[in-house]
């Protein structure tokens, strides 16, 4: 998936020299991204110099500083809360991912980041992107959930199944995944990470 479709021909040249940015994921968002696939993420940005549509973004997590994704700014505006009008609204950014590396982040220790949104020299952005390298090839996987459910009919069992999935979700339910055609390579994932589900191996 790519988002290199933003028409930048009618944009005025920047006066701050920035076309790339470092963005820190808000607390807890990194864990959420490892649990469920998202195409975009939205955050409140600091006042002052702001990214524009089409600007490149290096998505980072802190402590330690690591690069987990690349993206582009695809929407900007004000975050206006529901309810009565307020005197002050928060600047808002929507970033669409163009490259993800949440499971294998790369170090960004040498990058000076000041706040949730920091202007980034395009050369520094490219150096970070080069660390990720080309995206690995995609392949088919089989993913399964197995839940023992007592019910009076198949239809009721299915309803109970989806109720459990909605209630427990990826934080509690183990998902079984294996490359298509190689069930012997099955792995179990909980909380976005491989988990051992064999009690005998824990002894």
Residues 28 and 120 in one domain: yes
Residues 124 and 147 in one domain: no
80 pLDDT tier (thresholds 50, 70, 90):
very low
pLDDT at position 114, please?
A: 81
Any domain includes 6: no
Any domain includes 65: yes
Does 16 or 68 have the greater pLDDT score?
68
Instruction: Answer positive or negative: Cα dihedral of 118, 123, 126, 127.
Output: negative
Across the range 130-151, mean pLDDT stands at 92
Across the range 80-85, mean pLDDT stands at 51
Count of the separate structural domains present in the chain: 2
Any domain includes 1: no
Q: Which tokens in the block code for residue 124? A: 């520094």
pTM: 0.75
User: At residue 164, does pLDDT exceed 70?
Assistant: yes
Domain that holds residue 188: 141-202
User: Rounded CA gap, 78 and 81, in Å?
Assistant: 9
Residues 152 and 126 in one domain: no
What's the pLDDT tens digit per position in 119-131?
Answer: 999 999 999 999 9
Residues 42 and 119 in one domain: yes
């Amino acid at each position: 998936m790519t988002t290199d479709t933003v028409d930048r021909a009618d944009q005025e040249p920047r006066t701050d020299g920035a076309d790339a940015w470092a963005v820190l994921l808000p607390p807890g968002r990194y864990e959420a991204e490892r649990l469920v696939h998202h195409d975009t993420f939205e955050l409140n940005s600091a006042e002052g110099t702001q990214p524009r549509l089409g600007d490149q973004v290096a998505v980072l997590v802190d402590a330690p500083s690591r690069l987990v994704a690349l993206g582009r700014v695809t929407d900007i505006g004000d975050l206006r809360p529901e309810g009565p009008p307020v005197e002050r609204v928060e600047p808002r950014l929507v970033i669409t991912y163009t490259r993800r590396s949440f499971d294998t982040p790369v170090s960004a220790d040498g990058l000076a980041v000041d706040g949730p949104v920091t202007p980034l020299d395009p050369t520094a952005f490219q150096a970070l992107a080069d660390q990720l390298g080309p995206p690995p090839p995609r392949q088919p996987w089989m993913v399964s959930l197995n839940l023992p459910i007592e019910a009076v009919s198949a239809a009721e069992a299915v309803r109970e199944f989806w109720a459990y999935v909605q209630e427990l979700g990826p934080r509690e339910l183990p998902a079984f995944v294996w490359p298509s055609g190689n069930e012997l390579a099955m792995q179990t994932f909980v909380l976005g990470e491989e988990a051992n589900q064999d009690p005998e191996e824990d002894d």
